[in-house]
Amino acid sequence: MKLLIFGKTGQVARELARHCPAGWQMTCLGREDADLGDPDACAAALHGHAADVVINAAAYTAVDKAENEESLAATINGEAPMLMAQAAAATGVPFLHVSTDYVFDGSGDAPWKPDDPVAPLGAYGRSKLAGEDGVRGAGGVHAVLRTSWVFSAHGGNFLRTMLRLGGTRDRLTVVADQIGGPTAAADIAKALLAMADAFHNGQGVSGTYHFAGAPDVSWAGFARAIFDQSGMAVEVVDIPASDYPTPAARPTNSRLDCSALETVFGIARPDWRISLRDVLDDLSEKNE
Catalytically active residues, by annotation: 124
Dist. CA 239–CA 103, nearest whole Å:
24
- 147 phi and psi angles, rounded to 5 deg: -140, -175
| H or E segment to which residue 261 belongs | helix 259-265
Rg (CA), the chain: 18
Q: Can you say whether the dihedral through the CA atoms of 136, 140, 146, 152 is positive or negative? A: negative
Cβ 140 vs Cβ 95: under 8 Å: yes
Residues 263, 261: Cα–Cα separation, whole Å: 5
Q: How far apart are CA 105 and CA 118, in angstroms?
A: 7
Residue 252 contacts residue 219 (beta carbons within 8 Å): no
212 vs 255: CA distance, rounded Å? 8
Q: Which long-range contacts (CB under 8 A, 24 or more apart) does 43-46 make?
A: 43/83, 43/84, 43/86, 43/87, 44/87, 45/6, 46/4, 46/84, 46/87, 46/88, 46/91, 46/93
| Contacts with 132 (C-beta within 8 Å, 6 or more apart), sequence order | 97, 99, 103, 144, 208
Q: Angle at CA 254, nearest 5°, toward 116 and 121?
A: 75
CB 159 within 8 A of CB 276: yes
